[in-house]
A and B are shown apart, each in its own frame.
Chain A
Amino acid sequence: MKRRILELAAIAVGLALGTASAVQAQATDAVIDRIKAKKSISIGYREASIPFSYIDAQGKPTGYSTELCARVAATVKTALGLPELEIKWVPVNLQNRIPLVANGTVDISCESAVNTIGRQAQVDFSSPFFISSTRLLVKSKSGIAELADLKGKSIALPINSVPERLIKAIVERDKLNVRIVPVRDNSEGFLALSTDRVDAFSTDDILLFGLRSKAPTPADYEVVGKPLSYDSYGFLVQKNSTVFLSLVNATLARLAREGELAKVYGTWFEPLGVPLSASLATIFQVIGIPE
């Protein structure tokens, strides 16, 4: 057992140094084996998780997360010595992403998945690359500033998401009389808000900023309320694929060290008016472990 840990540690160090030989010597990692056999890496993306992972006007997956995963694929390409490595983009949604990663359909899911202890029972998470909090999107004129202001009103929540559970728990705990309207995804949540079906839509604040920026008149909408949670995002990787996971983390570490991560962040988030927060800057320092 000890020997195996030492071996793994040696491999991880080897990977961090960018030496491909250690990977080739290690053949027990299911994800690496699959990538080698198929000469392709399948990356999960979301259709409307702006600005992390979404479909652009040309119908291609794009966003902060997908861009980082394209860098991961480049690392995998050199580390495994597969110059012809092909990227296969696989659409995933909130319901199927964990099973798809667990059963190996998707090698790495690159979107906006919050790292939770519960989810770690089925998948592993990469180093964090983003921090978000659950807040509310409301119409500017509504006068709603906090969840408590929604008494007697209604709120849209994405079905089966972390914010849905959180808000439901708060509503029950504080005995707030708030009607919950479950919606399938963020765009339907925004639709429900913009057509006055609900008075607020709640999910991760960054997604709310994304929706607001895409609105016909962004000034009509406001992201309000104190942060209701602290959620760190990670890429989803099949459980116990240590070699692959360390390739992913090594990529993030290198990008963080070189200041690339902050630059990529800037290209996606500054247009939304969301500058790099102090906590995320700290995260970038923490994950930027040396070679």
Chain B
Amino acid sequence: MNYAWNWAVLFQSPYLEWLGQGIAMTLAVSTAAWIIALGLGTLIGIIHSSTSGPVRFVTGSYINLFRNVPLLLQMFLWFFVVPELLPKAAGTWLKRDLPYPEVVTAIVALGLFTASRVAVQVAAGIAAVPRGQSMAARASGLSTAQAYRFVLLPQAFRIVVPPLTSEFLTIFKNSSIALTIGVYELTAQTQQIQSFTYQGFEAFTAATVVYMTIALTVTTLMTIIERRIAIPGPTARG
């Protein structure tokens, strides 16, 4: 291979700043999307655990729609197609007046996509709590809301910590898809460094190391949380 390596390029101005900005954007987009995903996903997951057919159909439709359409396509749809379907004034506002439309779109798209996956996990977690727990809660005179709040959810969340960890990791990696609608996150900045310096391998190596660091940090953090909240006993191990 005829390639002139130059690692120093990563520590030069403005490339180092670009990497920094890329990392900041990746963290910002992923964290914001994760807040949407966790909030909305939990809500939908809880509703989806209901026994009512029509309710399950509605939540199931959301889950299937957002889980089965590739994220790349969803980003494109939110960015280019949705503003065209809205009334003209709203569409124009989304396209031209909204500050940072690409960043906002990316956060919403990534958040809604991940929410569908979180919903499945939360619903599965609730389903995994032994049936006797829910029956006992009702028998002790707790309302449905109280049963969820005090008995089912605290156990379900402990069970789903490991799959939620992977989802949390995935959101950082999926945030790179935001570059397709013009968000300068880590991968986009890396490509920009390559485009300016033609030192693509160095830039991509740096991005790989950053993504690995983020992933390992998240894993460590979640392991600590998992250990802290574990209840001794068979159900807690999930």
List residues of chain A with CB within 8 A of the CB of B84: 195
List residues of chain A with CB within 8 A of the CB of B1: 102-104
Chain B: interface residue total (CB-CB under 8 A): 26
Secondary structure type dominating chain B contacts: helix
List residues of chain B with CB within 8 A of the CB of A238: 2
List residues of chain A with CB within 8 A of the CB of B191: 95, 159-160
- B107 to A: closest C-beta gap in Å: 17
Q: Which of B80, B192, B201 contacts A159 (CB 8 A)?
A: B192
A75 within 8 A of B: no
Contact string against B for A residues 147-187, beta-carbon threshold 8 Å, 1 for contact and 0 otherwise:
00000001000011100010000000000000001111000
Q: Which of B181, B192, B198 contacts A118 (CB 8 A)?
A: B198
Q: Once the chains bind, are B92 and A196 in contact (CB under 8 Å)?
A: yes
B196 within 8 A of A: yes
From 195 to 226 in chain A, residues with beta carbon under 8 angstroms from any chain B beta carbon are: 195-197
Q: Which of B2, B4, B83, B195 contacts A94 (CB 8 A)?
A: B195
- B46 to A: closest C-beta gap in Å: 37
B228 within 8 A of A: no
Q: Once the chains bind, are A122 and B180 in contact (CB under 8 Å)?
A: no
From 64 to 93 in chain A, residues with beta carbon under 8 angstroms from any chain B beta carbon are: none
Q: Once the chains bind, are B95 and A102 in contact (CB under 8 Å)?
A: no
Q: Which of A30, A182, A184, A191 has the most CB of B within 10 A?
A: A182
Q: Once the chains bind, are B195 and A99 in contact (CB under 8 Å)?
A: no
Tell me the nearest residue of chain B to A96, going by C-beta.
B200
Q: Which of B196, B197, B200 contacts A99 (CB 8 A)?
A: B200
A19 within 8 A of B: no
Known contacts being A195-B84, A197-B96, is A159 close to B2, with CB within 8 Å? no
A56 CA / B195 CA spacing, docked (Å): 28
A121 within 8 A of B: yes
A197 CA / B182 CA spacing, docked (Å): 13
Q: How many pairs of A and B residues are in contact by the CB < 8 Å rule?
A: 68
- B38 to A: closest C-beta gap in Å: 29
Q: Once the chains bind, are A159 and B188 in contact (CB under 8 Å)?
A: yes
Q: Which of B2, B184, B200 has the most CB of A within 10 A?
A: B2
A192 CA / B182 CA spacing, docked (Å): 12
Q: Once the chains bind, are A119 and B198 in contact (CB under 8 Å)?
A: yes
A239 within 8 A of B: yes
From 200 to 220 in chain B, residues with beta carbon under 8 angstroms from any chain A beta carbon are: 200-201
Contact string against A for B residues 1-23, beta-carbon threshold 8 Å, 1 for contact and 0 otherwise:
11110000000000000000000
B179 within 8 A of A: yes
Known contacts being A160-B192, A182-B182, A197-B95, is A99 close to B201, with CB within 8 Å? yes
From 108 to 123 in chain A, residues with beta carbon under 8 angstroms from any chain B beta carbon are: 118-119, 121-122
A229 within 8 A of B: no
List residues of chain B with CB within 8 A of the CB of A240: 2
Tell me the nearest residue of chain B to A124, going by C-beta.
B2
Q: Which of A181, A182, A196, A239 contacts B2 (CB 8 A)?
A: A239
Tell me the nearest residue of chain A to B92, going by C-beta.
A196
Q: Once the chains bind, are A103 and B83 in contact (CB under 8 Å)?
A: no
List residues of chain B with CB within 8 A of the CB of A191: 80
List residues of chain A with CB within 8 A of the CB of B95: 195-197
- B75 to A: closest C-beta gap in Å: 10
Q: Which of A104, A159, A165, A196 contacts B182 (CB 8 A)?
A: A159
Q: Once the chains bind, are A165 and B96 in contact (CB under 8 Å)?
A: no
B102 within 8 A of A: yes
A192 CA / B180 CA spacing, docked (Å): 13
Q: Once the chains bind, are B2 and A195 in contact (CB under 8 Å)?
A: no
B194 within 8 A of A: yes
Q: Once the chains bind, are B2 and A95 in contact (CB under 8 Å)?
A: no
From 169 to 190 in chain B, residues with beta carbon under 8 angstroms from any chain A beta carbon are: 179-182, 184, 188
- B119 to A: closest C-beta gap in Å: 30
List residues of chain A with CB within 8 A of the CB of B180: 184
- A106 to B: closest C-beta gap in Å: 13
List residues of chain A with CB within 8 A of the CB of B194: 95, 98-99, 160
A161 CA / B192 CA spacing, docked (Å): 9
A195 CA / B102 CA spacing, docked (Å): 15
Chosen A-B contacts, 7 in total, with CB atoms closer than 8 Å, are A104-B1, A118-B198, A159-B182, A181-B102, A184-B179, A188-B80, A192-B80
Give B contacts to A, CB under 8 Å: 1-4, 80, 83-84, 92, 95-96, 102, 179-182, 184, 188, 191-192, 194-198, 200-201
Give A contacts to B, CB under 8 Å: 30, 94-95, 98-99, 102-104, 118-119, 121-122, 154, 159-161, 165, 181-184, 188, 191-192, 195-197, 238-240
* Extra contacts besides A184-B179, A195-B95, A197-B80 (9): CB < 8 Å: A98-B200, A118-B198, A154-B96, A159-B179, A160-B191, A161-B195, A181-B182, A183-B182, A196-B95
